[in-house]
């Protein structure tokens, strides 16, 4: 009995010494180790140091996951023809049972990440190595999460059944310590645009904006943002966003303050029957461009110099012919581009349904003329 007490005492002493000698390593960005409860992966965006933001529309949350993929690498060319068929074989199903919901490139390692969903709703995160797909495990990872304040009515308990409110995340972006999230709801036709400081804090005081869109000075509506990017125009930081009704709009970043009524400056209308899918800003030979993928139009390219020169706003009443108003944009001869992201300043990775029906993922470094 006495002996065991001594052994216990010695062990306890060692434990105390060990605890003080090897203090628990603090994780970067206040992350903690665990398995995030991710219900869906509907959008992806990279933050600093290999942190991947995962937009989960089903649980109305964004997860920040440390991919630990943070060593700088040269860009590897990508050309995967029939990516849907290859993915289907790798996941053991048929291509009609899979959808690629988003792609994101790690700006440090240049590695491409894919958010894939099967017909039964199972989300999968994969990265690309050569022509192979590598699963990115989301078990026991360093992560943090932020809920998007989508508080369903307390009346859910009120005998009214499940709340019918649906919110989805339409786009994610990260710049200067802030995660930006644009959302859509099935109830109000308006944007919930939030700017959330990262590392996340418990305070939910992030900016939530009411964004308006005026059509030619006459009719004003609130409008949901479908996709966005950030860029510097004339030395000032701007949010460049595209609405579900396709106009391209500029917002000065310093005016995006919580609870404000913000009206964007419409710089171009991209035409009818079309949905903006992705926006990225690119650079080639000292010139900057905005590149936009569309659901029903070729890829558009807008020269930032033209945006800087364009001081007008289509929110003013129109007097002239309306078809070609606003900033000039050029159609790049690429149609059916479903997703695009930036690999480096002059190279994009593109998911495209080719005219022969094949779904291909390819990087554009061989097609430098796209940005000329």
Partner 1 sequence: MNCSRFQIRLCALHSLIFFSLFLVVSCGKKSGNEISITWENERAVGLVIPADLLGKPDFAQLTVRLVQEGNSVPILGELQEIDTGVLFTPLIPFTRGQSYAVLYAGSVIETIAIPELPDDEANLAVTEIYPTQDTLPENQLKLFIKFSRPMREGESASYVTLLNSDDDTLQGVFLDLQPELWNENQTMLTLWLDPGRIKRDLIPNREMGAPLETGQSYRVVISERWKGKLGGKLDQVYVKDFVVTTRDSTSPNPLTWILDIPKAGTSESANLDFSEALDFSLLQEVFRIKDKENQKITGKWEIGFEEKGIQFTPEIPWKKGKYVVEIESRLEDLAGNNLNRLFEIDLLNHSKVAEASDFKKLEFEIRE
Residues 2-41 that bind partner 1 (CB under 8 A): 40
For partner 1, give the closer residue by CB, 66 or 246. 246
Cβ-contact 86, 360 below 8 angstroms? no
Nearer to partner 1, 117 or 352 (CB): 117
Q: Does 92 bind partner 1 (CB under 8 A)?
A: yes
Task: Between 84 and 347, name the residue whose CB sits nearer to partner 1.
Answer: 84
Among 63-71, 200-208, 266-274, 344-352, which window interacts with partner 1 (CB under 8 A)? 266-274
Q: Which of 92, 71, 83 is nearest to 128 (CA)?
A: 83
Q: Single out the residue of 68, 218, 287, 309 in contact with partner 1 (rule: CB under 8 A).
A: 218
Residue 295 makes contact with partner 1 by CB under 8 A: yes
**Applying CB under 8 A, does 89 fall inside the site for partner 1?**
yes
Integer Rg of the chain from CA: 23
**Is there binding between residue 122 and partner 1 (CB under 8 A)?**
yes
Among 23, 24, 161, 357, binds partner 1 (CB under 8 A): 161
Contact residue for partner 1 among 9, 28, 34, 271 (CB under 8 A):
271
Q: Which of 65, 80, 112, 214 binds partner 1 (CB under 8 A)?
A: 214
How many CA atoms, within 13 angstroms, populate the side-chain half-sphere of residue 121?
6
360 beta partners: 352
- Nearest approach, Cβ of 91 to partner 1 (angstroms)? 5
**How many CB atoms neighbour CB 196 within 10 A?**
22
Residue 137, SS3? coil
User: Distance (Å, rounded) from C-alpha 59 to C-alpha 139?
Assistant: 18
42, 130, 164, 165 from 105: Cα distances, Å:
15, 14, 35, 32
Q: Per the structure block, which two tokens stand in for 222?
A: 């609130």
Query: Please, what is the minimum distance in Å from the beta carbon of residue 109 to partner 1?
Result: 21
């Amino acid at each position: 009995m006495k002996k065991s007490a001594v052994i216990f005492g010695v062990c306890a002493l060692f434990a105390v010494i060990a605890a003080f000698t090897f203090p628990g390593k603090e994780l970067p960005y206040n992350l903690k180790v665990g398995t995030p409860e991710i219900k869906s992966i509907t959008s992806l965006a990279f933050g600093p140091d290999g942190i991947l933001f995962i937009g989960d529309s089903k649980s109305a949350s964004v997860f920040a996951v440390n991919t630990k993929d943070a060593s700088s690498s040269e860009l590897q060319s990508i050309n995967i023809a029939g990516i849907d068929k290859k993915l289907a074989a790798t996941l053991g199903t048929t291509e009609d049972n899979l959808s690629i919901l988003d792609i994101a490139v790690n700006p440090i390692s240049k590695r491409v990440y894919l958010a894939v969903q099967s017909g039964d709703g199972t989300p999968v995160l994969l990265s690309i190595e050569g022509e192979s797909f590598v699963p990115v495990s989301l078990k026991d990872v360093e992560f943090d999460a932020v809920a998007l304040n989508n508080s369903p009515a307390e009346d859910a308990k009120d005998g009214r059944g499940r709340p019918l409110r649906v919110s989805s995340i339409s786009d994610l972006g990260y710049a200067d310590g802030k995660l930006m999230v644009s959302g859509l709801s099935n109830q109000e036709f308006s944007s919930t645009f939030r700017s959330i400081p990262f590392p996340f804090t418990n305070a939910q005081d992030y900016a939530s904006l009411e964004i308006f869109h005026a059509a030619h000075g006459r009719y004003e509506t609130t409008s949901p943002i479908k996709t966005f990017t950030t860029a510097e125009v004339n030395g000032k930081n701007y949010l460049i966003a595209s609405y579900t009704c396709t106009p391209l709009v500029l917002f000065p970043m310093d005016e995006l303050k919580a609870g404000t009524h913000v009206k964007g400056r419409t710089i171009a209308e991209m035409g009818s029957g079309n949905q903006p899918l992705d926006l990225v800003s690119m650079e080639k030979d000292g010139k900057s461009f905005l590149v936009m993928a569309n659901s029903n139009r070729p890829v558009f390219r807008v020269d930032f110099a033209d945006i800087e020169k364009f001081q007008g706003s289509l929110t003013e009443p129109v007097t002239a012919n309306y078809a070609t108003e606003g900033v000039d944009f050029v159609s790049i001869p690429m149609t059916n581009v479903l997703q695009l992201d930036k690999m480096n300043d002059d190279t994009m990775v593109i998911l495209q349904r080719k005219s022969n029906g094949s779904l291909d993922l390819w990087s554009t470094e061989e097609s430098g003329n796209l940005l000329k």
